[in-house]
Amino acid sequence: MMAAQLNVGDRLQPVTHEVTDDKMVEFEKVVWDRGRNSHSDINVAKADGIQRTIASGQNQMAFLHEMMERNFGDAWVYGGKISARYIHPVYAGDHLTANGLVTEVSVVDGKPRVTLQIWCENQDGRKTSAGTASAGQPSDARSWITAAS
C-alpha cells in the first residue's frame, strides 16, 4: 500500500513527549559528552545568566525529527531539510508536542517536494520553536530500521 500523499493544509500526525530533568541531563551525555552545562547543571545555568536549567534546542530538534520520520519515512531520512529557531525556553516537566502543517507541494528537480511549517509547543500551547521543513512525498519504506536490524 502506498503512503497517503500530502496536500497543502494537511496536518502531520503530532508527537508528544515529556521533558524531564533526568533526560535533560542524559541528553547532554549521549553520543558526545559535553560535560556540565546550562542544560544539565543549575550552577552552570546561573553562571550563564539564567535561573533554571533549560532543555537544549537539539532536544526539541529530536522531537521534530521523530515527527518527520513517522510521517515521511525514507522520504525524510534520505534528503530531508529542516530549519528551526528556538523561541521560548523548555523546562523540566514541560510536555512538548511537535507539529507540522503542509504549506506547499511542488516539484524540485523532477521530484515531488512537500514544504511544511514545523513547530514545538508546550502544554500551555506556547510555541517553543518554529521553522520550516521539507521532504519528498511520504514513503511507507523505513529502510534505515531494516538496515539496522
Partner 1 sequence: MSEEAAISKVWESIPVGDDLGSLDYVLTAQMVADYRRVVDNPHAAYPTVAARHPANLFYRKYAAVMRVPNMGHDSEYFNPPVADKRITITGRIADKYIRRGNTYLIVEATAVDEDGRLIERSRLVGLAREVGKEAAHANIARKWGT
Residues in region 94-123 near partner 1 by CB under 8 A: none
Residues in region 73-92 near partner 1 by CB under 8 A: 76-86, 88-89
Asked whether position 55 contacts partner 1 by CB under 8 A, the answer is no
Asked whether position 57 contacts partner 1 by CB under 8 A, the answer is yes
Asked whether position 71 contacts partner 1 by CB under 8 A, the answer is no
Instruction: Select from 8, 11, 43, 50 the one that contacts partner 1 (CB under 8 A).
Output: 50
Residue number with CB closer to partner 1 (9 or 18): 18
Residue with cell 514513503: 139
